Amino acid sequence: MPRGVYLLTGRLLLNQINDILHIMETQAKTTAKDFFINLGAMLALYTTVANLVNLLFRVINTAYPKINEGYMGFIWSSISISWPVAAIIVFFPIFILLMWLLEQDYKQFPDKQYASMHKWFACISLFIFGAVIAGDLLTVLYYFIDGRELTTGFFLKVLVLLVIAGGVFSYYLYDVTGRLTGNLRKIYRVVALVIVLGSIIWGFNILGSPRTQQLKKYDQQRVDQLSEISRQVDYFYEDKGYLPQTLAELSEGSYQGQEWVDPQTKRLYEYVKTNDLAYLLCAEFNKESDKENAQSYYDYYGYEDTNWTHPAGRYCFTKTINKNLYQPSDVYPPTVPMPVVY
């Protein structure tokens, strides 16, 4: 054979060997560190997305409350945004940092972006967020066909899921198809940052700043404690047949045995007996009551059905003993002993 053919064949073989060695070198650099960075980025993404949706849903529930949403719906919508905001503040920067580390690694070793491990993580995310989009659209279609009320709050929740899941889905779709450039990554990061910051700001605007949340929690504790005092007064009347003259008299018995003090001011609550069956319970409130602090702990679990609505400032609740529910013990007929059967 001519010498040129040997040279050409040798060059082709050498190129193939170089390609194989390059692939082996790249695969050798796909270490446990790469696995855990990819896994950490995916978990941080899922945690951020879940808490972002949670945050926006709670804000929407407050801004657009559902009429007659029921007992459990009331409890869910009244939960504060503290946890989702805290989770987003922690996990979103972690996600950005890990993705930046991956991007720097891809610049040095471009073939890593097409490694099977990276493809697996990307395909898993495509599947999960594609399923969320499909479920979102299915819910809208079901509500429409079933004739259910399509409220503003419902449409906003659908839009939230569609935008967030659609954004993540499109990102990984670009990634899997090899069209995710460095500039496109930066655009996605900026858009994600705008959405996260905008959601947190909107949440604080609707539900109040951390200081406002703290003041509301003080008011909620006051309502819970006043509700407990009211229950103990009812038990006192049922046991004694009359109302206590003071809270000190209530505490002296077997009725909690403690001083009832305001959690913020550390002053005793005001209790005033107005007649044989009625009394006043007074406290100083930070904020006007809303859905978060118009009911007590015992209302949530069905122990009471009392309206604890109050304005800001000092306010007194008028309470009356229900004689149909709480009768003095001496009113009940004597117990007749049952005959013993041998």
Statement: residue 42 has pLDDT above 50 = yes
Q: What tens digit of pLDDT does each residue of 202-247 get?
A: 988 887 788 888 888 889 889 999 998 998 888 888 888 889 888 8
Of residues 115 and 244, which shows the higher confidence score?
244
Q: What is the DSSP string of 259-270?
A: --B-TTT-PBPE
At 325, the pLDDT band (50, 70, 90 cuts) reads low
Contact at 8 Å (CB) between 239 and 327?
no
Q: What tens digit of pLDDT does each residue of 245-260 get?
A: 888 888 776 555 567 8
Lowest mean per-residue pLDDT among 160-164, 302-306, 321-325: 302-306
Q: What tens digit of pLDDT does each residue of 140-180 get?
A: 888 888 877 788 888 999 999 999 999 999 999 998 888 88
Contact at 8 Å (CB) between 287 and 211?
no
- CA–CA dist 126, 170 (Å, integer): 8
Q: What pLDDT shows up at residue 194?
A: 95
Q: What pLDDT shows up at residue 179?
A: 87
- CA–CA dist 109, 23 (Å, integer): 10
Q: What pLDDT shows up at residue 214?
A: 83
- CA–CA dist 89, 94 (Å, integer): 9
Statement: residue 295 has pLDDT above 60 = no
DSSP 330: G
0.85 cut: is pTM over it? no
